Amino acid sequence: MTDPTTAPTRAAATWLADFAAALARGDVDAAVSLFESDSYWRDLVAFTWNIRTQEGPGAIRAMLQARLADTQPTAFALEGEATEADGVVDAWFTFETRVARGRGHVRLRSGKAWTLLTTMTELKGFEEKTGDNRVKGAEHGVHKGRKNWLEKRRDEEAALGYTEQPEVVVIGGGQGGIALGARLRRLGVPTIIVERNAKAGDSWRKRYKSLCLHDPVWYDHLPYMPFPDDWPVFAPKDKIGDWLEMYTKIMELNYWSSTHAKKARFDEATQRWEVTVEREGKPVVLRPKQLVFALGVSGYPNVPKVAGAESFLGDQHHSSQHPGPEAYAGKKCVVLGSNNSAHDICAALWEHGADVTMIQRSSTHIAPSQSLMELALGGLYSEQAVKNGIDHHKGDLIFASVPYRIMHTFHIPVYEEMKKRDADLYARLEKAGFLLDFGVDGSGLFMKYLRRGSGYYIDVGASELVANGSIHLKSGVNIERVNQRSVTLTDGTELPADLLVYATGYGSMNGWLADLISPEIADKVGKCWGLGSGTPKDPGPWEGELRNMWKPTQVENLWFHGGNLHQSRHYSQFLALQLKARMEGIDTPVYERAPSYHTR
């Protein structure tokens, strides 16, 4: 009788059985011998109570020596059929630890592990109440004094933060805070989300009129509730705002809008935070055990200090405050910057009849949207990917399975192909004087996003306006001085200006801490975002994960959550599990908490 399994599946089953057996008998050397010399084990909470990549056999050995006895991994089981391409076997598996269940992925080369991903999916005994475990919702029978759902919900809203304290306070009620709030709600973690805007979604509604998501719909679903299947590929900002507002209601989040966080301090005696907020004009003191900052990818807007700015008689503001183009028809407009916001604002101003000049200080990566979707995202996040059995859940794990140390090697071929496909656009941009780059190593957009969070534009039309001269361009210069009705550039050029927009990005997220808690705490946490790659705006040393994101920081009980919609969705699961474990008193020894190398 022939073996019905494929050769890749047999190879994966053999490796997984050997790995499981070595771990079961505590034989660290045998487990490590199953990895290549060039190998990586990325763990999302399951083994390390951290988000951490072990790079190389030595680091893998050290982690297992420290964590194997406590983790007690068991029940490894191959999931589905393995596949093979270019000599690499890809396989999925499930496993358990002493306190949790998990899912993993392995890539094998010549029978040894090249990359391994392990992720925690749920805590034993604290599973989400879904499927067969869902709550009934109705109390059948006759009960005096019975309260219905609405009454119970109103009681909860009236009590939480006043007579009952939350376990978690999330500062920031945009997509990140909302996604995390939904995860925590499902896990039964009492949480208050603090948002200064009047309604959920206002952080999107208040941006410039033309703003749409540059990422496609398949990449952007929120937890538990995917967008409808007729949702546009690129969602307009107000549509996203309405979805977020609806989502907070349906997911029953305790969402405190029109609430400003004023001050926070950690009380060592009670081991709780004391967070002073102003809610609808009245002060309230919240005392959560855990405090999460979910304020996007960045901190405060970077507004350059330019000589003479106070004398300018026109309008000037940071891109985050740009109201839209309507008031500037026929006006002279100068936009400092050349990334996403700068291009979007320039294009909208041009569409409304303004005379627009973009000032490009340094080179920028341009990724045409269609090429980005087809070459970079299509395999994991597209209608075709869904048809191929890769929904956003599986896409997230495949994406997460690539260690950051080698991720650029996966991306370089994508952007080499993009250079060929869009050669005509790139040539015309360069002829117009635009300074182009593809990252220092040719790895393109997403590595720039991870390393520095800037330096790129997903082209949805503005690049053509730059190439054909409709948007005027001054490149390789900066603004030296602002005059009453003009700006003087560093090359001596003077440009008349009725509007000056600073599309100059944002600072690090820990900048919020300096004002809300203290500069000392902000510096103890250190810079957020970046990998430590040593590339421009991402100083080393190498960390191998995004600094301070979704994992324990150098300040106990203080966390950061954010990123784009994909990251907010995917990593909210792992942050929520860490917070739930702490609430339930599960021991969570953090392996190799990342040190802080950089302040704000």
Domain 309-502 in this protein, CATH class: alpha beta
Tell me what the mean pLDDT of segment 238-253 comes to: 97
What strand order describes the sheet that includes 494-496?
A: 479-482, 486-489, 494-496
Q: Where are the beta strands (DSSP E) in 456-547?
A: 456-459, 472-475, 479-482, 486-489, 494-496, 499-502
d(CA 89, CA 82): 7
pLDDT at 408 over 60: yes
- Give me the chain's average pLDDT, please: 95
> What is the model's pLDDT at position 2?
43
Q: Please choose, from the candidates 353, 527, 378, the residue with its C-alpha nearest in 3D space to the C-alpha of residue 453.
A: 527
> What is the model's pLDDT at position 211?
80
d(CA 5, CA 89): 14
> What is the model's pLDDT at position 3?
57
Tell me what the mean pLDDT of segment 525-546 comes to: 95
Domain 153-300+507-531+549-584 in this protein, CATH class: alpha beta
Q: Give me the percent of the chain exceeding a pLDDT of 70.
A: 99
d(CA 553, CA 559): 6
Structure pTM? 0.95
pLDDT at 600 over 80: no
505 vs 210, residue with greater confidence: 505
Structure tokens at 327: 């008031």
Q: CATH number of the domain at 7-123, please?
A: 3.10.450.50
- Say if strands 168-171 and 290-293 run parallel, antiparallel, or are unpaired: parallel
Residue keyed to tokens 């000589």: 307
Give the pLDDT band of residue 1 (cuts 50, 70, 90): very low
Give the pLDDT band of residue 142 (cuts 50, 70, 90): confident
Instruction: Note the pLDDT tens digit of each residue in 326-352.
Output: 999 999 999 999 999 999 999 999 999
Instruction: Note the pLDDT tens digit of each residue in 18-54.
Output: 999 999 999 999 999 999 999 999 999 999 999 999 9
Tell me what the mean pLDDT of segment 58-82 comes to: 98
Instruction: Note the pLDDT tens digit of each residue in 308-318.
Output: 999 999 999 99
> What is the model's pLDDT at position 377?
93
Q: What residue ranges of the chain are covered by domains with CATH 3.10.450.50?
A: 7-123
d(CA 24, CA 26): 6
Give the pLDDT band of residue 511 (cuts 50, 70, 90): confident
Q: What residue ranges of the chain are covered by domains with CATH 3.50.50.60?
A: 153-300+507-531+549-584, 309-502
Instruction: Note the pLDDT tens digit of each residue in 221-237.
Output: 999 999 999 999 999 99
d(CA 561, CA 568): 7
d(CA 579, CA 414): 37
